[in-house]
Structure 1
Amino acid sequence: MRSPSDPPHSEKSRKPQRPASRDDRLKAALKANMARRKAQARARTAEDGPGDDLDETEGD
């Protein structure tokens, strides 16, 4: 049961919890960076596509 002084659930979810220590912040930043790089790599792979191999064989 919630007390009247508790903020609404939506207000709690708006503010992300800040990691307490430097190590935790670095770990979170590294995780976000790796996720971003993986997404970029997937986008490049999808952009190339399986049918784009024709450019490589035209020079023969």
Structure 2
Amino acid sequence: MADEKDRGKADARGATARRDRLKLALRENLKRRKSQARGRTDAASTELPDAFLDDAGEKEPGR
């Protein structure tokens, strides 16, 4: 009977530890995804002005 109580406590501690590990993994994953999204946004915003500076389609003067 005492073994059953100890097992229940161990299971509860294991479930809590698992939940904490998952919470930490999800938090780290979210940070990584946000960082990647910021990087993509920064890269896209730096590439946008280049498209406006592109003279594609314009002929050189005198030709």
Q: Give the TM-score, by structure 2 length.
A: 0.49
Q: Give the drift of 1:52.
A: 2.0
After the TM superposition, list the runs of 4 or more consecutive aligned residues in structure 1 that deviate by more than 4 angstroms: none
Q: Give the drift of 1:50.
A: 5.0
Q: Which has the higher contact order (CA 8 A, sep 6+)?
A: 1
CA–CA distance in structure 2, aligned partners of residues 42 and 51 of structure 1: 15
Matches within 5 A, 1:1-60: 21-52=20-51, 54=54, 57=56
Mind listing any 5+ residue stretches in structure 2 that lack a counterpart?
1-18, 58-63
Whose helix proportion is higher, 1 or 2? 2
SS at match of 2:51: coil
Larger radius of gyration: 2
Mind listing any 5+ residue stretches in structure 1 that lack a counterpart?
1-19
